[in-house]
Amino acid sequence: MPEETRAYEELRVGFTAAVSHELRTPLARLLALLESASLGGEDRDALLAQAREQVEEMSELVDDVLFLSELESGREVVALGSTVALPVLEEVRGRLADSAERADVTIRLEGGADVELPLRRRMLQIVVENIAENAIRYAGPGSTLTLSVAPGRLQAADDGRGVDGEELERLFERFYRSDRARASRGTGLGLAIVKHVVTSADGTVKASGGRGRGLTVRCSFPAR
């Protein structure tokens, strides 16, 4: 077997194993909830609501896996023209307003109204939404997330809990979640998708910050 084929096969097997592992936990929870609901004497409505959450979590994971697969197989065109960025940021902030309010995270926007970034509108939406959702989940109550755009740059900076320095580079790995993040709902693929979209457009993505110093995710694109 050629070296390249062997490497691809190892990657495919590893990815399949990771997906299977990530699905196993919500499936086990779902089965336990349904068994409890069938026994009687429990608050069935509450158990069914929790079961629905587990189904939604599995659906989210499947959607992210399929989208990442489409990106990697080239079926999703990433860099096709440019998009005026600020309206996309405003749209994402509106879409995430309820979840941000529940998490007690304030979202601020900065940047010129005419700044364009070299991504299709849908791809830019996906990048902004995944970065913002990550901050909403993990920054912590009372935090502020600032989404800003400038020529060749998209940045998301929060003043929340932050992560340990050694975790920064791993944030973009598939399914990577810190010990704290594992207690929160999420597929572990959001920032991996961000990295894939940005690098497919010849850009770079970098995380900085530290424990207690917030987290900044910066996406940089080459001048055109």
What CATH number did the domain enclosing 148 receive? 3.30.565.10
In a domain? residue 101: yes
Domain housing 111: 83-220
126 pLDDT band (50/70/90 cuts)? confident
Query: How many angstroms separate the Cα of 178 from the Cα of each of 17, 23, 27, 113, 215?
Result: 19, 18, 21, 36, 14
**Same structural domain, 104 and 10:** no
DSSP-based three-state secondary structure for 156? strand
Contacts of 56 (CB under 8 A, 6+ apart): none
Of 159, 154, 147, 152, the C-alpha closest to 91 is 147
Residue 10 belongs to a domain: yes
Q: What is the C-alpha to C-alpha distance for residues 157 and 201, in angstroms, rounded to an integer? A: 22
Q: Is residue 78 part of a domain?
A: no
Each residue of 137-156: pLDDT tens digit? 889 999 999 999 999 999 99
Is the residue at 48 inside a domain? Answer: yes
pLDDT digits (tens, 9 = 90+) for 73-117: 555 555 567 889 999 999 999 989 999 999 999 999 999 999 999
| Contact in structure between 205 and 219 (CB atoms under 8 Å) | yes
* Residue among 175, 174, 180 at smallest CA distance from 215: 180
Clarify whether residues 142 and 97 are in a common domain: yes
Task: Please check the confidence at residue 70 and state whether its pLDDT lies above 80.
Answer: no
Residue after which a domain boundary falls, among 51, 73, 95: 73
CATH number at residue 22: 1.10.287.130
Q: Does 93 lie in the same domain as 57?
A: no
3-state secondary structure of 53: helix
Q: State whether 31 and 123 are in the same domain.
A: no
Q: What is the pLDDT of residue 23?
A: 64
pLDDT above 90 (res 204)? yes
Number of domains in the chain: 2
Do residue 118 and residue 216 come from a single domain? Answer: yes
Nearest CA among 196, 186, 175, 171 for reference residue 75: 196
17: helix, strand or coil: helix
Does residue 185 share a domain with residue 105? yes
Place 64 in a pLDDT band, splitting at 50, 70 and 90. low
> Do 68 and 97 reside in the same domain of the chain?
no
pLDDT band at 13 (very low <50, low <70, confident <90, very high): very low
- Looking at the structure, do residues 60 and 117 belong to the same domain, yes or no? no
pLDDT band with cut points at 50, 70 and 90 for residue 53? confident
